Amino acid sequence: MRTIVVTHAGEDWPLDGSGIESVEAHAYLAEPKWLEEKGLRVLNLCRSYRYQSEGYYVSLLAAARRHRPFPDLRTVLDMKSRYFVRSVDEELDDLIQSSLHDIHAEQFVLSIYFGKNLAQRHSKLAWQLFTHCPAPLLRAQFRRGKRWKMTSIGPIALRDVPESHREFLGEAAESYFGRRREPVRSRRPARYDLAILYDPNEELAPSDAKAIERMRRAATAEGFDVELIQREDFGRLSEFDALFIRETTNVDHHTFHFAQRAESEGIVVIDDPESILRCTNKVYQAEAMQLRGIATPKTLVLDSSDPATIEDEIGFPCVLKSPDSSFSQGVVKCDDANEFERNAKQMLEHSELFLAQEFLPTDFDWRIGVFGGEPLYACRYLMAGGHWQIIKQTRSGKFRYGKVEPVALEEVPPRVRKLAVKAAAIIGDGLYGVDIKVSGKRVVVTEVNDNPSLDAGCEDAILHDELYRRIARGLLERIETLRGLNT
């Protein structure tokens, strides 16, 4: 993606020799050629982003033209919000106190150039503020009371950067734009930039290292420039055209913030925020499945630990699920009323509602991967040895897994495939893992998962690299549809 820098008339871009074209704001706003340009990243260095100023309209019209403004309009508006400033101050309180601990003045101003500050001791704070408020040139102001408090954060006009900071600004800009310029070995030039969000230290990660590498290789072959990113790269999202989340998602988690930010910036994202919201709440799924006639185990949404309803409508044993359970965590089997009451009370300490579901013992669960409304892969997930779930946590805290048996899609019972596609459609058109049990003549959906497992030798055992290439092609199609390039 080509980058241009938009500045106020007569102001110099500090990287004149970088190959990044400098354009005056009035030209970008008024000249027809910029309306017709496709696939631009627009670095907005105007003097002000105030409402209806040149800077405001550069970010606004860049979004309308399907360019990628930096900062985007959401960031511009966030900087004016007292609530936003207060929430960032509260979230980064510990870091603010440690970073400013040795400063004895009553006030302090932190200048941030592309996520960096001249003083190394403030580097972590500068980067975190940049990730929360992604804008090229920032000034954060702090006041000391009993504790340091951030009172404002906003843009710095290029003309207001002190002469003594200019060299550092140039280095920070060069570092920011140069960090992704390594040559990519590909049969054809990269058309788009793909970020894969992952956590190399996550114990129950949705993809192992080998699968991540296969996805990177497949996406590169399909025309992407691929970079693996982590939590601290939040401020760099505007550099990419697509985001593939390979870290366990949750609403109260940075993965959800990544998905929200990507969607707001016009970046194609899997998993999208709505899918995360719907999949990570089992109460939503229970009601949505029932409303649309999807067969499920008998399920009750409860707000009480009274076992009478269970005895009357489901019976024992039964399974209790917390609304945000995942990877078999937050799911317990109750053999009698006493176990139900004890476990229900524990769940109600964290949520107003929980699920009770009939217990359907089977040797395995079907896992059908669905992408864009089409079956992608199939596996049988066998129960962990001596356990009723596919994952068992031992007393030492370690996890034991049941065997995974890959199955060709044509060998999956047609009614299982059909039900999986129908259930996934209730959530959206992203990438899902649909769990299905077959018990006698019954075929039921136990849940639909966003962020499904894709591990080397398991889910990809039938299609191999083609599985990842299909995902990459799907991302590519979504980018081009979003930009009006598919006719």
**CATH number of the domain where residue 406 is located:** 3.30.470.20
Find the DSSP H helices in 243-330: 254-264, 273-279, 282-291, 308-313
**Position 74 pLDDT exceeds 90:** no
Report residue 306's pLDDT band, with 50, 70 and 90 as the boundaries. confident
Q: Give the mean pLDDT of 419-448.
A: 95
Q: What average pLDDT does the segment 263-287 reach?
A: 90
The overall longest dimension of the chain from CA atoms, in Å, is 78
Q: Same domain, yes or no, for 385 and 446?
A: yes
pLDDT recorded at residue 185: 38
Tokens for 219, please give them. Answer: 């996406």
In the chain, the percentage of residues whose pLDDT exceeds 70 is 91
Q: How far apart are CA 207 and CA 210, in angstroms?
A: 8
Q: 54-68, 375-389, 427-441: which range is least confident on average?
A: 375-389
Residue 181 has pLDDT above 70, yes or no: no
pLDDT of residue 252: 83
* pLDDT score for 361: 86
Q: Decide which of 14 and 367 is more confident.
A: 367
In the predicted model, what is the mean pLDDT of the chain? 88
Neighbours of 18 (CB within 10 A): 16
**Nearest-angstrom CA–CA distance, 414 and 70:** 48
Taking the C-alpha atoms of residue 106 and residue 158, their distance in angstroms, rounded to an integer, is 27
Q: Are residues 374 and 464 in the same domain?
A: yes
Question: What pLDDT sits at residue 189?
Answer: 54
pLDDT band at residue 186, thresholds of 50, 70 and 90? very low
- pLDDT tens digits for 206-232? 999 999 999 999 999 999 999 999 998
pLDDT at 131: 87
Residues 377 and 453 grouped into a single domain: yes
Task: Count the Cβ atoms, other than its own, within 10 Å of residue 345.
Answer: 11
Contacts 24+ apart (CB under 8 A), 55-62: 55/25, 55/155, 57/29, 58/6, 58/25, 58/28, 58/29, 61/28, 61/29
Q: Is the pLDDT of residue 27 over 80?
A: yes
In a domain, 479, yes or no: no
Name, in order, each residue with C-beta under 8 angstroms of 239's C-beta and a sequence gap of 6 or more: 41, 180, 193, 195
pLDDT of residue 188 exceeding 80, the answer is: no
Mean pLDDT of 451-475: 96
Q: Are residues 387 and 421 in the same domain?
A: yes
Confidence of residue 75 (pLDDT cuts 50, 70, 90): confident
Residues 458 and 381 in one domain: yes
Question: Does one domain contain both 369 and 469?
Answer: yes
Q: Supply the CATH number for residue 332's domain.
A: 3.30.1490.20
Q: Is residue 291 part of a domain?
A: no
Same-domain check for residues 440 and 397: yes
Position 184 scores a pLDDT of 37
Of the candidates 52, 89, 47, 91, which has an alpha carbon nearest to the alpha carbon of residue 73?
A: 52
Q: SS3 of 25, please?
A: helix
Residues 436, 453 share a domain: yes
Per-residue pLDDT band at 111 (split at 50, 70, 90): very high
Instruction: State whether 19 and 67 are in the same domain.
Output: yes
Q: For residue 30, count other CB atoms closer than 10 A to its CB.
A: 10
The reported pLDDT for the residue numbered 18 is 59
Question: Which of 36-50, 235-249, 401-415 has the weakest average pLDDT?
Answer: 36-50
Range of the domain at 407: 364-473
Residue 406 maps to a domain: yes
Of the chain, the end-to-end C-alpha distance in Å amounts to 21
Count of structural domains within the chain = 5
Confidence check: pLDDT of 381 > 60: yes
Which tens digit of pLDDT belongs to each residue from 121-170?
A: 999 999 999 988 999 999 999 999 999 999 999 998 888 899 899 889 98
pLDDT for 182: 39
| Per-residue DSSP letter, 405 | E
In this model, does residue 54 exceed pLDDT 70? yes
Distances in whole angstroms, Cα of residue 230 to Cα of each of 82, 139, 203, 219, 236? 28, 25, 15, 18, 10
- What lies within 8 Å, CB to CB, of 468 at 6+ separation is 211, 214, 215, 217, 218, 219, 454, 460
